[in-house]
Structure 1
Amino acid sequence: MNTQPELPRIIVIDDDPIILETIHNTLTDLAILHTTTCPQDALNTLAKLPFDIFITDQIMPDVTGIELMKKAQDINPDIIPVIITANANKESAIDALKNGAYDFIEKPISPIVLIKSISRIWDKLKTDNHNNNLINDIKATNIQLKLQNQELNEKNEKLAKTEETLNKRTKDLRKNVTELLKAEVEIKSSAVKAGMAEVATNILHNVGNVLNSVNVSTSYLLDLVKNKRSNIFHNIAQLLTENKDNLNDFLINHPKGKLLPLLLIELSDAFKNEDKSVIYELNRLSINIDHIKTIITLQQNYADKPNFLESCSIQTILEDALRMVTADYSTHDLQINLDIQEDSLIVTSRHKLLQVIINLLRNARESFVEYEQKNKKVLITLNNNPTTIKIIDNGVGILKENMEKMFSHGFTTKKDGHGFGLHSCYMAIKELGGEINVSSDGLQKGTSFTIILPEKVASGEPQEV
């Protein structure tokens, strides 16, 4: 074990005796000091005696502090240099630190600043020495390998079983991904047949976002399975078996034997982290697959009898729309909230109303594409008497001169827009006997869409539109 003196050994060089006296008076009880005005005397002393810290003035008659510091480090590479100067500026400080100085102290020297600097350096030296002692202690644990050898075979068997389980789960996950991709195609086909092209696009976009997470998790688990750490345990066991007759000597003196304890500790930590990662990824996969199933189920429910008027809960339609866009909104770091004062039960086409809500939510999300901000928010509200739905965002907003054109066929303010989305919303709400309007206070002021649905009594059998 390396021992360390109780006080730091410091050599100080400055051509000003007053500075030397100030440093001596400040550190006399805190360190073992050698002060001198002669650079060569300092180097000669450093070559003969061990020192921990080297304090030098930056500007001296025959040599700079940086030059002297480098010479001192040639003699003792472990010594920690500190530069002091009366001409302090940012450039000189950076230059000193770049050339290896640990600290840079301005004149006139503040005793408090000097003491804090020496204390930091001394703490660092003590920590380094402590770490070296810890390394030596770790090496001493090599003798415990004989006891750990009995556990190697059991761990190897467990690892093989884990690998087999991971292989099976990975195959199952790949099968699920294939089935989900098929379901994605079926969703698109069903949506087109039912006249839900816009809804299907949003659904597929959200499913695609979740599938990306599924693929990431699957790839991670595949890489984990391919990592044949069981071979490492087999090699360790074989190595110990080959040296069983001289195990103590092998563990203490042989280069490979001395490394085994550290290797086992690292492997143990790696396995623990891998177990946590596997559990985390499997949980993520379960959540993502359930989310995709939910989206698919919702889409299938709305594809059933899309052209019928029936008794509908507006709250349920809004909540379903929210579920369908959640993944997309999360991907774009967009917060969405639902504020319902009271549910409204009316006769309407749930398919058409859902299509309008999803189109408006997509429009709200796209309002942040060219207007990036930290707190992106969308709020959906529902009020009664009459049934009123509002979708409010704090996105890019709308110019006043464009307000009356927003629902016109072919009008768009987006670079890749086609001008059909808002027009189709207008036509759908009109067919349902309602009205839709838009308001905005201008660019970067957000936008609010308001849908007012007619009051109808929910009674009788569903009617085809």
Structure 2
Amino acid sequence: MITLSRRKKERAKAMEREDAKPASGTPQPSWPADVPDKPCVLIVDDDEAVVALVSTILKPVFPLRAVQSASEALRILEQQTFHVLLTDQMMPEMHGTRLIQAAKNIQPWIVGLIMTGYGSKDTAVEALKSGAYDFLEKPFGPEELVRTVRRAWNTLHAELSNRSLLRRLQAANAALEAEVAERRRAENALDLSRVGFHNIVERSMDGTVVLDSKGEVKFLNAAARVLLVNRGTAERDELLRSVADAAQPLEVEIARGDGRCGVGELSAVATQWEGEPAVLVSIHDITERKHAERALARLLEEQRKSQSQLIEAERMTAVGTMTAGVAHELNNPLMGILNFTQHCLDCTEEDDGRYAVLEDIEKATRRCIETVANLLTFARMDVQATESFQEVGCDDLVDRVLKLLAYRISKLRVEVIREVAIGLPRIPLRPHQMQWVFFHLLNQALDSVQEGTATVREITVRMLRQGGTLCVSIEDNGPGMAPEVLARILDPFFAATPTASAGKGMGLSTSRTIVEAHGGTLTVHSTPGEGTTLVVQLPVESSRAR
């Protein structure tokens, strides 16, 4: 635990009423373009012991620098990029809140955290008003310190990622706007007088063709001759007439000036040619625009997937928090019942008829306590993203999930068959994440048999080793999936059945992400009328665990 030094306590009162001074008006630099994997942390505290202890806790997790004065911190900020500033509030040169404001003038993206031994509502309000992300009240433990720094970094990391994506989207949008502007300039040129028409059109990068009322070609500029060079005269004229009759622009293959094929947009407008009604056909090379549109579509799809995963993570965190609260509330009265029952057993003779009843109460209470413990384990969603790999048996995780789902399995009258190979190895996993995966896969199987019409509802769980992988398959005898459903079953927000337990159609998508993060694969096999099999394959030896 980290505590205040005597010297800090002595000067705390004198600095308590000091107002934060306005930050300097130096120009702010632009935000960094790169998004690092880990943040660089700057620790500032005039107490050498606190600096040493905080550095010892954070150094194995994050790259860092530590100084003992605000002036030294500002000097380093002018030379090196940091992402998180962890500063003490009470320091001789300036308050931590003033230091955060000064640091943001140098590096506006930096996330400030305040360490203080005088935590109160006013302290929290002052810290947040100064631009601090959060504050730590001394004494605090290593886990709280690491968790707070990581939470601050996650917030900044999301902001940096969003800004990077926004810059790319703005660049793509600028390219599209440039294309639109170019097209408008070409169309405006058509309104010029006939005297200037030939000079402008002949130099235009767009192809220009004039057809008379009978569909005969009266004029082609140089660009049109290049763009349509791959087509014979008859084919070319037929294409131009079809454009003149079409209500919308047509996209066709064209020949580009560099000899490669591209995409051209052909559009037609009514005009006059030598005093007679005619049709003006414009040929615009939109090859680069098509490339930009495809790139933009990929970026938007990546953003959609990231947002969907974030939404699911936040939803499951809320569910976990609620579950943990309920489990904790149940645990206390259950322990009271158990202790009271054991006391009654100690005071009752074994030949007393009530002794057997008390033993049944004790066994039932212990089963309830075990169920509550499993709920608490499943509810620990906040540590899943950072938990370390452990040697775990997949059969133990599956058994724990089956206990959690025992009520639903019994209610649906489902027979669960376990086929576990002898001598299965314990493999490196993040146990809470993989338990979450098996929970969703078994719920998916229960959803499937619930929708089915089989007389006997069955779910078969098989676990065996196949070479260097451990295979866990969950097979149900539900109605199966149509090919179009099977093709999308792992997509975010897609639910296979109306009663899908995932709620938002994210269970299988998130499960696949977790399994792939373990170096494994999640596949789905299904035939209409014959059921569905969900297969998880995990490496027996994972380099991620080292």
TM tier, shorter chain? 0.3 to 0.5
Q: Determine which structure has the larger strand proportion and give its number.
A: 2
Larger relative contact order (CA 8 Å, sep ≥ 6): 1
Give the TM-score of the pair, scaled to structure 2: 0.32
Larger Rg computed on CA atoms: 1
